[in-house]
Structure 1
Amino acid sequence: MMWSLLLWTLAGTSGSFALETIWNPTRKAAYFNGDVHEAIMKNKTASFYSLCQRPVFFGNQPLRVDAQRVREFIGRTGEFKCNNIDLYSFKSHAELGSPTGEGSSSWGWEYAGRDFAIIAQSDGAAFAEILPSGELDYLGRLPRTQGAAASIWREIRVSGNIAVIGSEASNHHIQFFDLTKLLTITPAQKPKTFDPTTDASIFGGLPTGRTHNVVVNPDLPYVVSVGSAPRTSQFGAGLVFIDIRDPANPTLMGYQAQDGYVHDAQCLLYRGPDARFQGKDICYGYNEDTLTIYDVTNKANATIISRTSYTGASYTHQGWVLDPNDQRFLVLDDEYDEYDMAGLAKDGFPVTYIWDISDLTKPVLTGHYKSSVKGIDHNQYVANGKSYQSNYGAGLRILDVSSIPSDPTGAGVREIGFFDIYPEDDNATGGGIVDFVGTWSSYGLYKSGWILINTIERGAYVVKYTGN
């Protein structure tokens, strides 16, 4: 293996801290065989179980927050600390039809000026409409695949009008649901429980029916399973490509297993500055210890363009390109560096890593942003110069990342709004705790400006950034 090191002195920390961009890293056995991922899942499960024993866990109770918009500037909205964000509505997981009362992923769907939310829960997916008033109107749900156990690891994406739902539960497989069915639900039918056998199709080609995540390309009719089990299968828990031109009959297109387990990815038609890849289908993979970039134009023969790691890499979890029409930079979150007290995150304050991907063969770590509240960063999605981050107990954090192209050190990145979803840790040192509590995901990509927050133990919130 060839190692190349590039040192950068990064702004935004006390003193200086050198990070290494490590090209072609040697993969550690603990990542390759799944020990690291298994340890994280065990720690999460322990945290979730602990939550179930506490009074805070009221996802299975009919708690309501007044749906009338609560104004705030800098202060508190009810019990939740926040800034520049208005709360419009809330529904507990029980009100969203879940007996288990546990939430995880979320995604949105826009149709003819209407905004819909797909809310992942351990026992299925809830469907709701965000009304013009901001009220969350519960429409119904799609239960988990018959014969599959409940699992909080349920991930959702949308391709066109199709909801794509994956789960870590064995024999769940990947569900495909036509969201236009929501348009014909009458008031008398609400909430409607759909039949997972007759109202959804499945892709049953994964070895055990498990996938950690699902990924879509917004421009092309295919889905990617990432993190399927077991790692020893032909797929290697890597990228598994599924043709959904006929969503009722999804079929295998190919797979890419050379870098092993992929935890999450973003796939886009390439419109960036690297002329060698113009118009190609590119996937940016977050592979536990590396940012791995793939050319997946040929699904039967997808190839790796580059594998890159960095100082303090504990669990390269997820990331997002700043601009899909430019693709010069992306931001990346590491889920375990705070927990491991590694690198820049050794003090427990979440770090967002900034990457220059102008040369897809040699991505360069150019800078970082460090949160002011302790916690763990989990997922982030970027639109119009804003990164919408779900930082577990620290809640939704909105970052202005528009300065990165002109200053890739991250010195110009700033937090412009937050909604702290877990008040139980507000008085802790650093303003929060390093634990798997609070918000799993948020979806801030609606053109209307609504933001959906899905939490593990409480329910789903609709908020809006005020910009004040």
Structure 2
Amino acid sequence: MASKAILPLLAILFFMGCSSDNGTGIPNNDQNGGNGGDGPNIGTGVVTRSFSACEGGMADVYPCQEYDLLFQMDLGAFAAAKGNDIWGWTDTTTGNEYALVGLDNGTAFVDITDSENPLYLGKLLTATVASSWRDLKVYGDFVFIVSEASNHGMQVFDLKRLRDVTEPPVEFTADARYTGIGNAHNVVINETMGFAYPVGTARNDAFNGGVHFIDIQNPLNPNGVGGYGANGYTHDAQVVTYNGPDMDYAGREIFIGANESQIALVDITDKSNPVEIGTLTYPNIGYTHQGWFTEDQRYFILGDELDEVDFGFDSRTLVFDFSDLDNPVLHTTYLGPTGAIDHNGYVMSDEFFLANYTAGMRVLDITSIASGTITEKAFFDTYPSNNTAGFNGVWSVYPFFESGKILINDINSGLFVVQKSN
């Protein structure tokens, strides 16, 4: 979701459609989804819909192709009004898989290991007030959570505590809280280096709303060591220890920022002296939103959040050739089958999992990306009302579980867990 610079436009569209079930079994995308706000209610975790195979293009009431619904927990299950970001955690000791569900008023934790009997363990409430924007990432056994809520800082929660919940759901408290930032739109983590990178902070802070460098190698004692803001406000980013085709940067820590009207590439290996590699634009910029490397780090797949609104495109995904980081070029452009806005997207193997707002989750085959060919191979549409260019439906997805389960967080309808059909 885009930054405060375009909040007036987003507010009009975003708040038009919070959904719930209207009693007919069909999602009502014009109603509020839960009990939201700043109250202490953590919800009950009741499963809204259980397993439904994708047959004849439908799983229960949801259009689909090649993905079955394992279960859904709507926003009422978490006593929330809106969903936002989502991430996952696999307990390496037990093998259990957990959904970490971003909400307007906190973060919910669901054990999805047994998808026939998912277990809502509890909720960590927001550090200050509710906000439609919350983001979270995992380092080791800890999750780090930021929000656009005023003075929220960065919450730290020890996920190992989820092993020992005896009477769920419970209200959790944070294990630590970093207050070197106030609000932040997003947080990025490079697990290889043990650093967290909040972005989209206050535009008048020391780094102009760019990126803060926080050492989290001791997760309970985050330590700010600098930042970078020469390219202005960063909305989202990916940070990698580079292992791609450009040998000039082998082993360097590279920051790729989605900076509203451009992509910024920065070598941040030396936290005391970050070095700009370059910036990159492209035709018909609406709002440079978020991107992700292919696994060989040759191509960077970018979503622009407002080009569908501003220019009338069908869902547009841009692919850049980053084989020479000093001279990146636009490689190809993919247009989806609907006019829905693209949001967050992640690469897993040779597939790109796209949170496509009102068009749900779309799965793109990127096997032939080198030749400029991208095709849609599957989808699961959690917002069946329409596929228009509005800010409803899927905010984000998490495709990285070894089990193949995919997490979807829908702004209006909460948590969906889906899996490829047999």
TM-score norm. by structure 2 comes to 0.91
Give the superposition deviation at 1:178.
0.8
Are positions 1:157 and 2:137 aligned together? yes
Give the superposition deviation at 1:40.
2.9
Match of 2:151 among 171, 177, 189: 171
Aligned ranges 1:258-277 → 2 under 5 Å: 258-277=230-249
Match of 2:216 among 234, 244, 254: 244
Distance in 2 between residues matched to 1:264 and 1:101, nearest whole Å: 24
Which residue does the alignment assign to 2:176? Answer: 201
Which residue does the alignment assign to 1:328? Answer: 298
The alpha-carbon distance between structure 1 residues 458 and 131, as it changes in their structure 2 partners (threshold 3 A), is same
Distance in 1 between residues matched to 2:178 and 2:359, nearest whole Å: 36
Which residue does the alignment assign to 1:416? Answer: 377
From the CA coordinates, give the structure whose radius of gyration is larger. Answer: 1
Preserved CA contact (<8 Å) 1:256 1:301: no
Which residue does the alignment assign to 2:322? Answer: 357
Distance in 2 between residues matched to 1:264 and 1:70, nearest whole Å: 34
Aligned ranges 1:161-310 → 2 under 5 Å: 161-186=141-166, 189-195=167-173, 199-206=174-181, 209-229=182-202, 231-310=203-282
Preserved CA contact (<8 Å) 1:438 1:456: yes
Give the superposition deviation at 1:82.
0.8
The alpha-carbon distance between structure 1 residues 331 and 52, as it changes in their structure 2 partners (threshold 3 A), is closer
Structure 1: 5+ residue stretches without partners: 1-35, 426-431
Distance in 2 between residues matched to 1:315 and 1:134, nearest whole Å: 40
Give the superposition deviation at 1:266.
0.7
Which residue does the alignment assign to 2:10? Answer: 44
Structure 2: 5+ residue stretches without partners: 21-27, 36-43
Give the superposition deviation at 1:48.
3.5
Which residue does the alignment assign to 2:67? Answer: 85
Preserved CA contact (<8 Å) 2:86 2:396: yes
Which residue does the alignment assign to 2:24? Answer: none
Which residue does the alignment assign to 2:91? Answer: 111
Give the superposition deviation at 1:450.
0.3
TM-score norm. by structure 1 comes to 0.83
Preserved CA contact (<8 Å) 1:88 1:135: no
Distance in 2 between residues matched to 1:73 and 1:388, nearest whole Å: 21
Distance in 1 between residues matched to 2:141 and 2:408, nearest whole Å: 21
Distance in 2 between residues matched to 1:52 and 1:462, nearest whole Å: 20
CA RMSD of aligned residues (A): 1.7
How many residue pairs match? The answer is: 402
Which residue does the alignment assign to 1:60? Answer: 34
Letter in 2 for 1:216: I
What do the CA deviations read for 1:27-54 (whole angstroms, capped 9, x no partner)? xxxxxxxxx9435322332234322499
Distance in 2 between residues matched to 1:299 and 1:157, nearest whole Å: 21
The alpha-carbon distance between structure 1 residues 52 and 355, as it changes in their structure 2 partners (threshold 3 A), is closer
What do the CA deviations read for 1:298-317 (whole angstroms, capped 9, x no partner)? 11111110100001111110
Give the superposition deviation at 1:174.
0.7
Are positions 1:132 and 2:114 aligned together? yes
The alpha-carbon distance between structure 1 residues 259 and 130, as it changes in their structure 2 partners (threshold 3 A), is same
The alpha-carbon distance between structure 1 residues 66 and 236, as it changes in their structure 2 partners (threshold 3 A), is closer
Are positions 1:457 and 2:422 aligned together? no
Distance in 2 between residues matched to 1:171 and 1:72, nearest whole Å: 44
Distance in 2 between residues matched to 1:134 and 1:166, nearest whole Å: 31
Give the superposition deviation at 1:131.
2.2
Are positions 1:380 and 2:345 aligned together? yes
Give the superposition deviation at 1:184.
1.1
Which residue does the alignment assign to 1:18? Answer: none
* SS of aligned partner of 1:353: strand
Match of 1:443 among 398, 412, 415: 398
Match of 2:356 among 391, 403, 407: 391
The alpha-carbon distance between structure 1 residues 330 and 317, as it changes in their structure 2 partners (threshold 3 A), is same
The alpha-carbon distance between structure 1 residues 395 and 149, as it changes in their structure 2 partners (threshold 3 A), is same
* SS of aligned partner of 2:302: strand
**Kindly, what percent of the aligned residue pairs are identical?**
37
What do the CA deviations read for 1:158-177 (whole angstroms, capped 9, x no partner)? 11111010000111111111
* SS of aligned partner of 2:308: helix
Kindly report structure 1 stretches of 4+ aligned residues shifted beyond 6 Å: none
Distance in 2 between residues matched to 1:80 and 1:223, nearest whole Å: 36
